A = this chain, B = another copy of it.
Amino acid sequence: MTGNREEFTVTPWEVRGEVNYERLVVEFGLTPLNKDLYERLTRLAGDTHKLLRRGVFFAHRDLDWLLDKYERGEMFYLYTGRGPSGHTHLGHMVPWFLTKWLQDRFGAKLYFQMTDDEKFLFKPELTLEKTRKYALDNALDVIALGFDPDKTKIFLDTDYIGFLYKIALQFAKKITFSTVRATFGLTESSNIGQIFFTSIQAAPAFIESIITGKNVPCLIPLAVDQDPHFRLARDVAPKLGFYKPAILHSKFLPSLSGGGKMSSSEAMSAIFTTDSPEEVRKKIWNAFTGGRPTIAEQREKGGNPDICPVFHYYAFIFEEDDRALGERRKRCLSGDLLCGECKEDLIKRVTNFLKEHQRKRERARDIVDKFLLRGEQTF
């Protein structure tokens, strides 16, 4: 997706430039997550979540329909995932945080897909051995967030293909090359695995319907770049007699280098769950901010939290309290809060979070097998 003045690209395999989310809503055909729906979700959950309150999850498809079903007693399940091309960074976890909250509040089952096949097919330098290693590593981060072991299953596509393949074939039969070209920007030089792949990503949206033999609503919290897969899956679903999956779309945690989405390939642009306190300190100290060139100028004119990745880290993850976040914003705008103090505080919070997360991550090694699906296993 490219425009005149503000060029940006959002596909499942590339996010580039300053993303204009309002334009994305129009171009992707999403529904903005409005106040009424937010309040309805909050009421049904009995609780709210900062990622919803603060508009990080900004759009949806058929969430209202899913809640209608829920109110009539049709329980939904959750599906999300990760493309394991490297270690997990904090940006990857944004949809996982909301997914965890949704599981807790609604008691929903979760299928978590590791697309080791996808990353192998799309990254020339990656082998299947490497994407498997990353997938098993990333699974530790998922488990460390505290998902319910009785309600959560994680699978690598290459492990679970015995179950997924037949569902994927049904989808593949209904999707042409022209369609994937138009949807993803794939070309005649794309490899035939890339062309087929969207069928594998669609499949988990129908697992529960297939297992139970009756339609089960599915809710997919995801970063908005993954939407095109499910636009296709939703087009095809009724032709196969399935419900369309509902989707909740999040914005991207900005890159510490400024602009765009964090990237696994630029180490300095993101904080990984495996980073040491020293790495965290260095990355945050080197981060782009909304500050002014000099302290004097910042005292006089104030900073700009809206373009500041450091501020976004607080808003997305590291400040639970809305009043404290508002206070931080006001102090930044007024020139009272300088970037040094703000960064120092973030370093502390990130370091504390990672210390605890890394401890849970290590403990996850003992229970990861309980989460993993293989062959033709189901819950």
A-side interface residues toward B, CB under 8 Å?
Answer: 117, 120-121, 128, 158, 161-162, 165-166, 168-170, 172-178, 180-181, 186-196, 198-199, 375-376
Q: A177, B169: Cβ atoms under 8 Å?
A: no
CA distance A113 to B106 in the complex (A): 45
Q: B176, A166: Cβ atoms under 8 Å?
A: no
CA distance A180 to B188 in the complex (A): 10
The 5 closest A-B pairs by CB, nearest first: A172-B193, A196-B196, A162-B162, A161-B165, A178-B188
CA distance A188 to B178 in the complex (A): 5
B-chain residues with CB within 8 Å of residue A189 when the two chains form the complex: 176-178
If A161-B162, A177-B190, A178-B188 are given as contacts, then 11 extra A-B residue pairs at C-beta distance below 8 Å, sorted by A number, are A120-B173, A128-B169, A158-B165, A158-B169, A162-B162, A162-B375, A172-B193, A177-B191, A177-B195, A180-B192, A193-B199
B-chain residues with CB within 8 Å of residue A376 when the two chains form the complex: 375
- Smallest distance from the beta carbon of A344 to chain B beta carbons, Å? 46
Q: B166, A191: Cβ atoms under 8 Å?
A: no
CA distance A186 to B168 in the complex (A): 20
Q: B196, A173: Cβ atoms under 8 Å?
A: no
B-chain residues with CB within 8 Å of residue A191 when the two chains form the complex: 172-177
CA distance A166 to B162 in the complex (A): 12
- Smallest distance from the beta carbon of A177 to chain B beta carbons, Å? 5
A-B contact pairs, 5 of them (CB 8 A): A162-B375, A175-B192, A176-B190, A176-B191, A177-B189
B-chain residues with CB within 8 Å of residue A178 when the two chains form the complex: 188-189
Chain B residue at minimal CB-CB distance from A178? B188
Chain B residue at minimal CB-CB distance from A121? B173
Chain B residue at minimal CB-CB distance from A122? B173
Which residue in B121, B158, B165, B168 is a CB contact (below 8 Å) of A172?
A: B121
Q: B162, A117: Cβ atoms under 8 Å?
A: no
- Smallest distance from the beta carbon of A121 to chain B beta carbons, Å? 6
B-chain residues with CB within 8 Å of residue A166 when the two chains form the complex: 128, 158
Which residue in B161, B165, B187, B196 is a CB contact (below 8 Å) of A192?
A: B196
B-chain residues with CB within 8 Å of residue A195 when the two chains form the complex: 177, 192, 195-196
CA distance A165 to B156 in the complex (A): 12
Chain B residue at minimal CB-CB distance from A158? B166
Q: A192, B177: Cβ atoms under 8 Å?
A: yes
- Smallest distance from the beta carbon of A159 to chain B beta carbons, Å? 8
Q: B177, A188: Cβ atoms under 8 Å?
A: yes
Q: A176, B188: Cβ atoms under 8 Å?
A: yes
Which residue in B121, B161, B170, B180 is a CB contact (below 8 Å) of A128?
A: B170
Q: A192, B169: Cβ atoms under 8 Å?
A: no
Q: B117, A165: Cβ atoms under 8 Å?
A: yes
B-chain residues with CB within 8 Å of residue A120 when the two chains form the complex: 169, 173
Chain B residue at minimal CB-CB distance from A174? B191
Chain B residue at minimal CB-CB distance from A162? B162
Which of A128, A172, A199, A376 has the most CB atoms of chain B within a 10 A radius of its CB? A172
Chain B residue at minimal CB-CB distance from A168? B193
CA distance A191 to B177 in the complex (A): 6
Q: B193, A188: Cβ atoms under 8 Å?
A: no
